[in-house]
Amino acid sequence: MIGDGTVQKLMKLKKYGRYNMTTAEDLNFNTNDLLYSQLVKATNEMSNPKKSANNPFFKSKYATLEDSLNIAKKTLAKYDLGVMQLNITRDNVSCLVTRIFHKSGQYIEDGGVPLKLKDPEDAQKLGSAITYARRYGLQAMLGMVGEEDDDGNKAVQPKSKSNEMPSQTFTMSYDIYDLDGSKLKTCSKYETYLAEMSKVHNDYLKANKNEIIKINEKIQAEGSINAKLKAKVFTELDTLINKII
């Protein structure tokens, strides 16, 4: 969209035959002049969000969507700017698009973060993928740094013997999923899985909720496990689910 002052000047030129104006697309200059001038000020003032959440799978910290939005909205509003994020379909692929707009109506948007899921009908994983895409899209559009290097934290939580499941009881794999629904890793032991899931941020618990429930159901249905051990596992996994906000 073109600023009102620019349009008025061009209309006067057209009136006196000095400019043959046809459509806005024919104008050879930046039509987002108002937006960019304010966006430069906003991004120069904008601070990076605090990396308050843990990614235990890459042993690093990251800034949540909530923290990123709080900084973005507050700073953008000072310069008559805003942000909106839309779920659209491009070339038959569902995408999460981030748009920065100015009160004049001018806006810019990214190409969209693809929302690729093995099971698009899984609302739980779709919600996690949207949160993941919104966070990355927002931070990229505004030049925010929301993650540490992958090798930032090499600490490993020691195993707790109280959580150990005898390996001879049964054989089973425990899958852990990323926020976009893709599989991050597979644990071969219950105690390893529980240790990993006990230290994750709420976003990761949401992404893995269905898998936690499925694992609990499989263990409860296993005939070779005694009732006391089943009760222990049920309590531990149910505690994880109840932590989800």
Domains of the chain, residue spans: 1-29, 45-141, 161-242
- In this prediction, residue 6 carries a pLDDT of 54
- In this prediction, residue 219 carries a pLDDT of 83
- In this prediction, residue 151 carries a pLDDT of 45
Give the residue ranges of the chain where pLDDT is below 70.
Answer: 1-30, 55-59, 148-171, 245
- In this prediction, residue 8 carries a pLDDT of 56
pLDDT tens-place string over residues 2-39: 445 555 554 555 444 444 444 444 443 457 889 999 99
- In this prediction, residue 53 carries a pLDDT of 79
SS3 per-residue string spanning the chain? CCCHHHHHHHHHHHHCCCCCCCCHHHCCCCCCHHHHHHHHHHHHHCCCCCCCEEECCCCEEECCHHHHHHHHHHHHHHCCEEEEEEEEEECCEEEEEEEEEECCCCEEECCCEECCCCCCCCHHHHHHHHHHHHHHHHHHHCCCCCECCCCCCCCCCCCCHHHCCCCCCCCCCEEEECCCCCEEEEECCHHHHHHHHCCCCHHHHHHHHHHHHHHHHHHHHCCCCCHHHHHHHHHHHHHHHHCCC
- In this prediction, residue 63 carries a pLDDT of 85
**pTM reported for the whole predicted model:** 0.52
- In this prediction, residue 80 carries a pLDDT of 96
